[in-house]
Chain A
Amino acid sequence: MKDTIRFELNNKPQEVTIDKERTLLWVLRNDLDLTGTKYGCGMGLCGACSVLVDNKPVRSCQVTADFVDGKKVVTVEGLGTKDKLHPVQQAFVDHDALQCGYCTPGMIITATGLLYKNPSPTREEIIDAMDENFCRCGAYTRIIDAIQAASKKMKGGI
């Protein structure tokens, strides 16, 4: 059964006609070619698949497509471009806050969601908000530094 789902995707209106029970992660990656959002565990455990839905980080492997109907979705591709990086993206580059980069989109999205909610988080608040995002390469300390730097640069506003 197909349904039409309308939402805002990376600042543009988007319409898809699909089985609304499908997992958002695969709709983004396979139907909309937004492959920046990654699969890591499929069980909501690792955070690699995080996207912003109405500015809140959501694990796209854990929700169906109809969850975003009428909402605003931002994936890592919608934050900034290589020529015009979003401050969080820029901070990750400046702090070398990645190695293989596979966890990076999920980290950046979750961090951006945190900064929407709490523009000036303490180190502890960052660790708390990010703790369910895994990085096997072990870039954690640099990611914390990057988020703090981004927070300062954005001076509380996104």
Chain B
Amino acid sequence: MKKNNNNFIDLLDSTIPKGMGRRAFLKRFSGGVVIAVSLMDFQALEAAVLQEYPADLNAYLSIDKDGRVTSYTGKIEMGQGVITSLAQMIAEELDVKFSDVEMIMGDTDLCPYDRGTWGSLTTRMFGPALRSAGAEARAILLEMASEKMNVPVSELSVNEGIVFEVKNKQNKLSYAELAQGARIVKSLKNKPVLKDPKDFKIIGKSHLKVDSPDKVTGGAKYAGDIRVPGMVFAKILRPPSHAAKRIKVDVSAVQGVKEIDLIQDGDLIAVLHEDPEVAEKYLNNIKAEYDVPTSGLNENTIFDHLMNVAPEGTLISEGGNLTEGKKGAEEYLEAKFLDGYVAHSPMEPHTAMAMMENGKMKVWASTQNPFGLKSIIANELKLQEENVQVLQVFVGGGFGGKSSNGQAVEAAKLAKISGKPVMVAWTRREEFFYDTFRPAAVIKINSGCKKDGKLTLWDYGVYFAGQRGAQHFYDIPNHKTVAYNSGWTAEAGAHPFATGAWRAPSNNTNSFARESQINIMAAKIGMDPVEFRFKNLKDERMIRTLKAAVDKFGWTSIKSPSGKGWGIACGVDAGAYVALMAKINVDKSNGKVVVERVVVAQDMGLVINPQGATIQAEGCVTMGLGYALSEDIQFAGGEIHNRNFDSYEIPRFSWTPKIEVELLDLPYEPAQGGGEPAIIVMGALIANAIYDAIGVRLYQMPMTPDRILKGLKNKN
């Protein structure tokens, strides 16, 4: 462990990872106490995650001479609320007022490296590290106070940043007074003692979002809101299809037009103007011809295609013997589940502003991974990494889609070529074209059970959805789980366009299939689907989560289809356990589903901001209704047909059910992810409720009115 060191500059210099703007960093620290934290000693993290981080340090906490507490992390705020919950953790351990903590996030010059904000990792990873930094800073300040006040540390206490003598409260010193003139930089290696949850004053208490006042007044800056003198908007020539090859382009109509800049750089053709509409007008005068190969792939044929091109499988888990399992089954079922392509559709389309300033490329981008973007830009533009800075902005929703940053690379290129500050703000039409969709996927399950409900067989194959959530959590003696193509991207030739991580990647599709299959088995033997689950569960965490859902919902035994429209589905994601229950109505005349009520029971360990976590679960339920009921990319080969919200329907006010969230009270268990878990079972929840309402089982998402009507027709 590094000792307290008065040589502020030297130690900082040696602890700041390469590529960080040391000068920019130091300028902010004229003095005070700085704690640098490394994630390496926080064992809760998966080794694979840690590998991607530099070993030395991953977050800073500073208490400056004005007593201001500032934390620097490479994470970003995109609506998930970490700007609030991370500050709560620091305020708690440091014993300062919550409002005294400021978060600096995602600025690649000021913040230490971070690989990206996704995977519900912020609270799980940075939680323990930042809390430790807070505790360590508190310990250092107490030691300093003890020296100055001549009182042993054991007789001191802290309240809201004021250190006082327990026996004589008038004898006190503020953190500001202590930090004044101090130049202490400490790199935290050993975990200090954290507060016992029973002493929490700030963690575990609901806190309103700190960024709301800026957001409700229009003051919060998103990438598209950056204004720089001399800036121009770029409109870029786009192909009609992902498979299109440009064979001819005629720019003569706009060549020599004074009021615009015409940029031609290889494939990139763009018109720049200070008014985006003027740029667009001139762009439309550019004539291009494309060769677009015909393709038989569309939203209906894609599934057979995927099965045809599926690679070898990867075994995820197995146990027992499948042949025995089948022999022992009194009921046996083979089923195939399908899931179409789904868009991220954040309300803010991909946007970036880039400008070259004194040889340095500055970029404001709607991105989930500023550091990854910085490297890509340096690479593409042949700049030194230290000559690229991605700056902090609010991100208008990401859901995984903003880990791909094409718009920012375009803006940086155009800024470099034109020498002007350039804004690239994708239109909704472009957003729907360049999105990295949730992959279409197929899941095949063969399962068997005894008449008493005990599962004997589970043979599970997932094609193209990815592994997350493929592993079941039931107690089944004979089982095998195989993933054919293990991630959300695939080899060339599989998907006709880009695919990527979509909120709780893989798990939405896997949970749809698994939890549907479980209900189908239960219905086969005429058993209540909740009772069936309890019969096959040994995992204590899932059992208590399911029990919590039963209590909150008021579930009583049903024999599905009961006509009540009740649904149930369970899942595990990002270390958290969820059980959801719903009550829906299906209008048999038009196939429309109305979801009346959804109950979420969630075990996410220690909850930092209960209201924040509740809001995330509500958002999961609402967003999940979209992929369950309506969202489906329609396409012909590489040509996308839904290019705006008129043809791609996302959830709206009138769809929203009453949502009740129960967070299990587990303050002594490690904090888990909260931004994704509740969304994973929305497909199965609705599918099971539809079956319970009208006896129609749907094996394909989304469960549109057409598919429901077709199911009704087939049934009669």
Chain B 207-242, CB-CB to A under 8 Å as 1, else 0, gives: 011011111111111101101000000000000000
Partner of A136, one of B208, B397, B429: B397
Provide the bound-state CA to CA distance between A104 and B397, in Å.
12
**In the complex, which residues of chain A have a beta carbon less than 8 angstroms from the beta carbon of B651?**
138, 140
Known: A33-B227, A93-B208. A105 touches B275 (CB 8 A): no
Docked-complex contact B225 and A85, CB < 8 angstroms: no
Asked if B509 is at the interface (CB within 8 A of a chain A CB), the reply is no
> Residue-by-residue, is B180-218 near A (CB-CB < 8 Å gives 1, otherwise 0)?
000000000000000000000000000011011111111
A124 to chain B, nearest CB (A): 9
Tell whether, in the assembled complex, residue A136 and residue B346 are in contact, meaning their CB atoms are under 8 Å apart. yes
Q: A36-B219, A102-B396 are in contact. Are A138 and B213 (CB under 8 A)?
A: no
- Whether B277 pairs with A92 at a CB distance below 8 angstroms is no
**Residue from the list A36, A127, A141 in contact with B217, Cβ < 8 A:** A36
Contact (Cβ within 8 A) B81 A99: yes
**Quick check: A42 and B277 within 8 Å, CB to CB?**
no
- Which of A93, A137, A144 interacts with B212 by CB under 8 Å? A93
Chain A 92-119 interface mask (CB, 8 Å, partner B; 1/0): 1110101111111100100000000000
Binds A, one of B122-130, B328-336, B618-626: B618-626
Q: B668 within 8 Å of A by Cβ? A: no
A25 to B594, CA, bound (A): 35
Least CB distance, A123 to chain B, in whole angstroms: 10
Tell me which of A34, A41, A100 contacts B346 (CB under 8 A).
A100
Report the nearest B residue to A36, measured CB to CB: B218
Distance in angstroms between the alpha carbons of A142 and B428 in the assembled complex = 26
Please give, as numbers and ranges, the residues of chain B lying within 8 Å of A133 by CB-CB distance. Answer: 653
Chain A residues with CB below 8 A from B217, complex form: 36, 76-77, 79-82, 85, 89
CA A34 to CA B219, docked complex, whole Å: 9
Tell me if B656 is interfacial: C-beta within 8 Å of chain A.
Answer: yes
When distances are taken between beta carbons in the complex, the residues of chain B under 8 Å from A81 are 217
* Minimum Cβ distance to chain B for residue A112 (Å): 11
- Indicate if the CB atoms of B348 and A102 lie closer than 8 Å: yes
Majority secondary structure, A binding face: loop
Q: Does A37 contact B (CB under 8 A)?
A: yes
Q: Count contacts on A: residues with CB < 8 A to the other chain.
A: 58
In the assembled complex, the Cα of A140 lies from the Cα of B650 at a distance in Å of: 13
- By beta carbon, the residue of chain A nearest B212 is A93
The answer to whether B216 and A89 have CB atoms under 8 Å apart is: yes
Cβ of B20 within 8 Å of any chain A Cβ, yes or no, is no
CB contacts (< 8 Å) of A60 on chain B: these are none
- B174 in contact (CB, < 8 A): no
Known: A26-B276, A101-B394. A137 touches B619 (CB 8 A): yes
Known contacts A41-B644, A96-B615, A139-B615; is A35 also within 8 Å of B215 by CB?
A: no
For B225, give the chain A residue with the smallest CB separation: A35
For window 46-82 of chain A, which residues contact chain B by CB distance below 8 Å? 46, 48, 75-77, 79-82
Considering the complex, give the chain A residue whose CB is closest to the CB of B222. A102
Residues in B71-124 with C-beta less than 8 Å from chain A: 78-81
Chain A residues near B276 (CB, 8 Å)? 26, 30
Residues of A within 8 A of B221 (CB): 35
B347 near A: Cβ within 8 Å?
yes
* Cβ contact within 8 Å between B347 and A22: no
Chain A residues near B224: list those with CB within 8 A. Answer: 35, 38-39
Partner of A101, one of B212, B429, B621, B646: B212
- Centre residue among A23, A26, A30 by max chain B CB count within 10 A: A30
Residues from chain A with Cβ under 8 Å of B619 in the complex: 99, 137-139
The CA of A131 and the CA of B654, in the complex, are separated in Å by: 6
Name A43's contact: one of B81, B395, B644, B658 (CB within 8 Å).
Answer: B644
Question: In the complex the two chains form, what is the Cα distance from A126 to B652 in whole Å?
Answer: 12
Q: Which of B213, B427, B652 lies in contact with A131, CB distance below 8 A?
A: B652
Contact between B615 and A142 (Cβ–Cβ < 8 Å)? yes
Residue in B222, B652, B659 whose CB lies within 8 Å of A134:
B652
Q: Do A101 and B220 touch across chains, with their CB atoms under 8 A apart?
A: yes
The 4 closest A-B pairs by CB, nearest first: A36-B218, A138-B622, A100-B79, A102-B396
Which residues of B line the A interface, CB within 8 A?
78-81, 208-209, 211-222, 224-225, 227, 274-277, 345-349, 394-397, 399, 425, 427-429, 611-612, 615, 618-623, 644-646, 650-654, 656, 658-659
Given contacts A34-B218, A101-B211, A138-B656, 6 further A-B contacts (CB under 8 A): A93-B216, A98-B212, A132-B652, A134-B645, A138-B621, A138-B622
